[in-house]
Amino acid sequence: MEIVTFATTKGGVGKTTLTFNFASYLAHQGKKVLLMDLDQQNSLSRTYDQTDQIGTVEQIFNVYETDRQPVVPVNVRKNIDLIVGATNLDKIQSRLVPEANKNVILLFWLKQHVKDIVEKYDYLIIDCHNDLGIATANAIAVSDVVFCPVTPAKYSVESMADFETRFEVCKNETINYDTGKTIVKAKLYYIANRISHINNSIDKNFIKAVDNDTEHKWIAKIPERILLRRTNEDGVSISDMQDIAQLSLDKLTSDQKSNLKWMENRKYYKSQNPEKYNEFNILFDKIAKFA
């Protein structure tokens, strides 16, 4: 199982939107995907309309609870299961601060669930809060790669230095006590996100800086598109939008036909140039090569 984490220290950079759509892209390629919502805002879970607090990530991190309930992945789409986020994750993390092994709780949990988790899925994709707190440190500790989205906004670009510093601190703190070496093996990649198609100096300078940056590993440039912004609002990924757009009227169910909102959305998806969908398929395929 490949483990991918989307993380940043700056909010509003499209991290959850990328997580949601990247998972859907992989699922459409026939991959079995497990999503884990470690964002305290539970944005990914709410995108899938999953708010039930039974069997959430709380059961992984609430190590003080002697009678913990099992984690229950919820099937949310074909080939996609989700471990729902916990609304009290911030409180749980605050209790873990003095713990010596606080950064490897998720690692221990995965080792205990090889058959039902590790061997069941092709990918574990983790959406984190915009910090490098205990939950995010746990995600990094088990990850093969970490994707950090960055937008052309000033504070988003400036947050890269902060993220890298905290990433290194996380590596230095998360060690094998027998060898004294870090257990973090994750490679860090950056994704240039929400790049406007309008010819403005901010975005042009940002792209120029990305192209000339030899210090950081940039793997993709994601354009700003209304289609992508709608994925969270509609709860429908780019890949699913494409599927819906290609459905002929005779293939629709009676429930779909009677759902005015669904039919309105379908009309919008069908009106889009197919090249817009292909554009994102190419981009997510490019990102997948690093996962």
pLDDT in tens, 36-50: 999 999 999 999 999
- Domain extents in the chain: 2-228+283-288
Query: In the prediction, which pLDDT does 160 show?
Result: 93
Superfamily of domain 2-228+283-288: P-loop containing nucleotide triphosphate hydrolases (3.40.50.300)
Tokens representing residue 117 in the block: 């988790």
Among the ranges given (25-39, 150-164, 219-233), the one the predictor scored with the smallest mean pLDDT: 150-164
Q: What pLDDT shows up at residue 200?
A: 83
Residue 34 forms beta bridges with which residues? 81, 124
What pLDDT band is residue 198 in, cutting at 50, 70 and 90? confident
What's residue 220's pLDDT?
98
Across the chain, what does the average pLDDT equal? 96
Look at residue 267 in the predicted model and tell me its pLDDT: 97
Instruction: Please tell me the pTM assigned to this model.
Output: 0.96
Half-sphere exposure in the Cβ direction for 262 (13 Å, CA): 12
Q: Which residues are CB-neighbours of 61 under 8 A, at least 6 positions away?
A: 86, 89, 92, 93, 96, 105, 106, 134, 135, 138
Structure tokens, 290: 């690093």
